[in-house]
Amino acid sequence: MAACGSSEESSTGTTSGGSGESVSGSSAGSTSGSTTSSSAAAESGIEDGVLTVGFDAEYPPYGYMGEDGEYTGFDLELAQAVCDLEGWELEKKPISWDAKDMELDSGSIDCIWNGFTMTGRESEYTFSVPYVDNSQVIVVAENSGIETLADLAGKVVGVQAASAALEVLQDEEGQKALADTFASLNEFADYNTAFTELQAGALDALAIDIGVAQYQLESRGEGFKMLDETLNSEEYAIAFKLGNETLRDMIDKDLQELTNDGTVQELAEKYGIADMIILEAE
């Protein structure tokens, strides 16, 4: 599959702008996993040597635009490390999270790689090995007086549209009974906007993934806290189009190699999620 992002040039450095970035992988290809046969490439959809990753550009620490104007994050750096092993170029394509299935089904991206929950979606995608243990949590203002989930009754709660947190709050077997006690459950396109609303007092609480919550609390300083009770636990994995086991198997192999050589742990420590990694060295 040819990459369908809108960037028109590739470079050995990261070039920000438009709806995608294309970044070259290592040309040496000296590792055991770096040589891809033409038949495997055809089956995987990476015939042109470009891995197009769809991601939410406002989902730190997994994917976001850095202060230098370039897309970065744990998942994007890990994707680059995979491309270095395979000798591929990485195209980073920011997508609307609501449109992720359309992007994947149309072939405009090869995978969804950005803090994506596999739990409960196993029949909808072909997933990589899970690599992050994640939970949905509640963030509130420190002076809100909210200490438990029960305290959310009658409160205005925010959540990202099409997110795992929203799904668990709408699930009869999840936390729908809790959500029914809210004054309202307001959906936002991204959590940066939601945090702004929380800070302004327009929201009483946010339902959010723990990794994103930790990043936001650290970057925004004092004023917020995370409740001890969690909404749900889950695992993150890379999502491929249902049936694309060839690409899944190639990247699973690379993830294991990057775990064995310490790259995964190094990146996880850099982005503050080291205690959430569930990949183990062999």
CATH number for 267: 3.40.190.10
Average pLDDT, integer, range 60-72? 96
Rounded distance between C-alpha atoms, residue 53 and residue 1, angstroms: 13
Say whether pLDDT at 177 is over 80: yes
Asked if 103 and 180 sit in the same domain, the reply is no
What's the pLDDT at 23?
Answer: 61
Q: Does any domain span residue 106?
A: yes
- Mean pLDDT (the chain) is 88
* Token pair listed for 24: 């070259």
What's the pLDDT at 273?
Answer: 94
Strands 224-226 and 132-141 come out as antiparallel
Rounded distance between C-alpha atoms, residue 127 and residue 125, angstroms: 6
* Token pair listed for 145: 């007086």
- The SS3 call for residue 76 is helix
* Sheet with 50-55, edge to edge strand ranges: 21-24, 89-94, 50-55, 111-112, 239-240, 126-127
What's the pLDDT at 14?
Answer: 36
* Token pair listed for 178: 């809790």
Range of the domain at 145: 134-234
Asked if 126 and 143 sit in the same domain, the reply is no
| Confidence band, pLDDT 50/70/90 cuts, at residue 27 | very low
Say whether pLDDT at 9 is over 80: no
Asked if 163 and 218 sit in the same domain, the reply is yes
Structure confidence by residue, pLDDT tens digits, 82-124: 999 999 999 999 999 889 999 999 999 999 999 999 988 999 9
Asked if 120 and 260 sit in the same domain, the reply is yes
| Confidence band, pLDDT 50/70/90 cuts, at residue 32 | very low
Which of 19-23, 219-223, 231-235 has the least mean pLDDT? 19-23
Rounded distance between C-alpha atoms, residue 282 and residue 269, angstroms: 20
Pair 126, 165: CB distance under 8 Å: no
Asked if 72 and 211 sit in the same domain, the reply is no
- Which DSSP letter does residue 26 get? -
Structure confidence by residue, pLDDT tens digits, 116-147: 999 889 999 999 999 999 999 999 999 999 99
Asked if 68 and 191 sit in the same domain, the reply is no
Asked if 244 and 117 sit in the same domain, the reply is yes
Burial 16-55 (b: 16+ CB within 10 A, else e): eeeebbbbbbbeeeebebbebeeeebebbbbeebbbbbbb
Q: Does any domain span residue 8?
A: no
| Confidence band, pLDDT 50/70/90 cuts, at residue 24 | low
Asked if 203 and 126 sit in the same domain, the reply is no
Q: Does any domain span residue 182?
A: yes
Asked if 138 and 218 sit in the same domain, the reply is yes
Asked if 25 and 127 sit in the same domain, the reply is yes
Token look-up 């249902």 returns 242
Q: Does any domain span residue 1?
A: no
Q: Does any domain span residue 205?
A: yes
| Confidence band, pLDDT 50/70/90 cuts, at residue 5 | very low
Pair 121, 234: CB distance under 8 Å: no
Structure confidence by residue, pLDDT tens digits, 227-263: 999 999 999 999 999 999 999 999 999 999 999 999 9
Asked if 50 and 150 sit in the same domain, the reply is no
How much is the pTM? 0.76
What's the pLDDT at 7?
Answer: 34
Omega of the bond leading into 130 within 30 degrees of 0 (cis): no
Asked if 66 and 200 sit in the same domain, the reply is no
Pair 129, 146: CB distance under 8 Å: no
